[in-house]
Structure 1
Amino acid sequence: MAENGDVKLHIAMLPWLAFGHLIPFLELAKLMASKGHNISFISTPRNIDRLPKIPQTLTQFINFIKINLPEVENLPENAESTRDLPANKVPYLKIACDGLRKPMVDFLNNTSLDWIICDFATYWLGPIAAEHGVRTAYFSIYPALFLGFYGSPETAMHGDADRETLEEFIKLPKWVSFESEVRPSLFQLTRVRNNKLTVGVQNVKDSYRLGATIRACDAVIVRSILDFEPDWLNLLKELYQKPVIPVGLLPTTVNHDDNDNASWLETKQWLDKHEKGSVVYIAFGTETKPSQYELTQLALRCVPEIYLTWGGEGRGGKMVFQRST
């Protein structure tokens, strides 16, 4: 992002209001701060207060900026992330997020920035930043394969006549020139579609938000590595005609303290009972709540014994399955 490695940048970051997005954005902020760049990490007060603490060595480089969500009809009070809402209320959170235009304009008017790294939801931010002479980058927490299935920004925004159904969407797209057996599953797409409800003309589709964000930005950052999906990352460069930068998988770097974290202590005690290399770790995501059927199927099909944890902040859970046959 700078030709001279000694140049230190001021970078603002505006993630979507979900902890599955906030946490990777924070990890990227910590990575850039460790290189000496100054970061303005922007979110709502309640979300910022719930973020993990950053290392003391980085506090001088990361400034947390709190902006308030506007009030939106049907959005519960104090709901500032998807964690605070049932799935059918999330569209109202996106409408509230669209109300952050003015606070972001005020921020740009009063801050000297080099870049803004944004998420898919704030599709309106690119043109605003350009008016202020600030470059933007879209940071995808999803792998390049996910983006590749959406195609070019225009295809993501307006759709593809050849893919009207979910069954058609999971087929390898016509713009993919290489062979690949890896693709989204029908189960995943059905679940995502079932969680999206239309709430009126203000509710902009996620695919449109994604395409418009990518079209307006100067670069795309992907949470991936070339060794993992080189063909898909190269495809994105062709589709977007702009730099595509893999920044690694960005695993969470929170340090667990056995004396302060009872949940981690319980997990550690369970792990210590097992031989090295005998445990399979399955990540459901920050806010996923598996159904009883899904948990049972994992217990029956994966391994003889499985320790499952999911969610957080009082909304998650844990369970141990033991299979005798």
Structure 2
Amino acid sequence: MATVYARLGKELFLNIHNISRTVRKEEVALAAAKKMAQDKETVLHIVMLPWLAFGHMIPNLELAKLIAEKGQRVSFVSTPRNIERLPKVSQNLATLINFVKLPLPKVQNLPQNAEATTDVPYDAVQYLKKAYDALEEPFTRFLQSSKADWLFYDFIPFWAPSVASKLGIKSAFYSICTSPFLGFLGPPSFLIDNDSPRQKPEDYIVVPPWVTFPSTVAFRYYEIMRIVDSLSSQNNSGFSDTYRYGASIQNCDIAVVRGCTEFEPEWFHLLENIYQKPVLPVGQLPSTAPVGSEDNETWRWMKDWLDKQARGSVVYVAFGSEAKPTQDEVTEIALGLEKSELPFFWVLRVQRGPFDPDVLRLPEGFEERTKARGVVCTSWAPQLKILEHVAVGGFLTHSGWTSVVEAIQNEKPLVLLTFLADQGINARVLEEKKMGYSVPRDERDGSFSSDSVAESLKLVLVEEEGKIYRERIKEMKDLFVNGERQNRYIDNLIHNLKKLSNV
């Protein structure tokens, strides 16, 4: 009988033990599920502080929209006039994106109402940077009351990460420029210190020693000379752009970079090595059409003209909101378009804001001679909608990355003509990958002829020899605009932001 009781006791113990194990497993699974649910329910508040250039503000807004679509809150900080000029966001995102208007402090030599680089001549941009630096105090006051989890900031406000750190807010340097450009710039210590290995313009026209893989990515001499003033701390803003980049990168918690590892893996790997901190790609951020753009009267007359042109025949010409060709360059571009005998739609900025004294002019008789097959538009034009039109067969562009992405998402081959900033580096990347053809230029002064413009356009749009550029753009489209891939990049970004901020 004792043996029977012992056996029953052992069985009872084992049953209770098994039940306890099952309960514990269920409790662990329930806790994990609860944590996942809480993670999904946790809403981040991200403050975005872009530089006052539309080539920077628009990619910031595109990222803000993608973050808001995931249910996270964004405060987008800029000046009143810039916010009024930004594309409107859809109704369903308006509750999650808060536009914060900070008036731009007045600075001597900066024209009244000038709040973006598009409003002023190139020489006055340094005063705009100085005014932007004066936003530090009002921005600090806003950040103190914002209850933000993260600050995303551009390269100009190099002071922003220190402000965030003092308030216990994590910071991310968000670069709208690509990983090849950042990789070419090099380690933050070189950008900040005066003993940088780059001491003269010629040092920027060779591949730097920290780029250990085969590459042709470097500036041309004429490209670096066009922006050499921004490399000097003697400019009127008080800080060189290289210093701003270096301090911005050195003081952030993480770097967030526009681009994807499938397109430029070696460059992202290089950044991780030279930054010694997390570098998160956020995809190519393909542009979305502004809300209500379908009914725009400006677009209607443009569409009417494009509808009359043969499929794939039109050259679209535009150089962004900042790049302004010289008068000689405008003349050669115009005569090149005329000699190409191709239909064209040219968006020409004749001056940078109302205070620009140098108003560009077309060659005498040009518009009359080409009116049967060309349009020159000197006001705003909806670039994305123009590139979407089937009549457009190619794009003569400055190589600004937003324009490049918009061309690729619409399968338009690229003819490249660089002017400012990172455009030369972008052009080298596109040349390497056979995604764009650069107009031949003099290596020293950057001059080019109307014949080289005409020949480049015909090569890329029409001739058999240029078929590789037309086909390559189509091949790259999925890599740039695949919705699932872009979605994964944003999911990964938000996951890492929550993980790093312990929310």
Structure 1 length-normalised TM: 0.87
C-alpha change, 1:66 and 1:257, in structure 2 (3 Å) is closer
Deviation per CA, 1:278-311, whole angstroms, max 9, x where unpaired? 5555552223223344345556389652422255
Matched residue of 1:80: which SS? coil
Residue range with higher mean Cα deviation, 2-11 or 53-62: 2-11
Q: Residues of 1 paired with 2:294 and 2:173: CA distance?
A: 37
- Is contact 1:48-1:66 (8 Å) kept? yes
Aligned equivalent of 2:96, options 36, 61, 72 = 61
Displacement after TM superposition at 1:65 (Å)? 0.6
Displacement after TM superposition at 1:53 (Å)? 0.8
- Is contact 2:171-2:252 (8 Å) kept? yes
Aligned equivalent of 1:128, options 145, 151, 163 = 163
- Is contact 1:287-1:312 (8 Å) kept? no
- Is contact 1:13-1:117 (8 Å) kept? yes
* Counterpart for residue 260 of structure 1: 296
Displacement after TM superposition at 1:107 (Å)? 1.2
- Is contact 1:286-1:312 (8 Å) kept? no
* Counterpart for residue 18 of structure 1: 53
Matched residue of 1:69: which SS? coil
C-alpha change, 1:154 and 1:117, in structure 2 (3 Å) is same
Deviation per CA, 1:209-264, whole angstroms, max 9, x where unpaired? 111011111111111112221111111111111111121222321246343241x2
* Counterpart for residue 44 of structure 1: 79
The 5 Å alignment of 1:1-325 reads 4-158=39-193, 161-193=196-228, 203-255=238-290, 257-262=293-298, 264-279=299-314, 281=316, 284-295=319-330, 297-298=332-333, 300=336, 304-305=341-342, 306-310=344-348, 319=376
- Is contact 2:260-2:283 (8 Å) kept? yes
Task: Point out where structure 2 has 5 or more consecutive residues left out of the alignment.
Answer: 1-35, 354-358, 361-374, 378-449, 459-503
Deviation per CA, 1:26-74, whole angstroms, max 9, x where unpaired? 1111111111110100111111111111111110100011111222222
- Aligned-CA RMSD value: 3.2
- Is contact 2:348-2:376 (8 Å) kept? no
C-alpha change, 1:208 and 1:247, in structure 2 (3 Å) is same
Identity %: 43
One-letter identity of the residue aligned with 1:309 = V
Q: Residues of 2 paired with 1:65 and 1:44: CA distance?
A: 8
C-alpha change, 1:278 and 1:224, in structure 2 (3 Å) is farther
Matched residue of 1:294: which SS? helix
Q: Residues of 2 paired with 1:111 and 1:259: CA distance?
A: 37
The count of aligned residue pairs is: 323
- Is contact 1:152-1:239 (8 Å) kept? yes
Task: Point out where structure 1 has 5 or more consecutive residues left out of the alignment.
Answer: none
Residue range with higher mean Cα deviation, 15-24 or 296-305: 296-305
Matched residue of 1:181: which SS? coil
Q: Tell me which protein shows more helix as a share of its residues.
A: 2
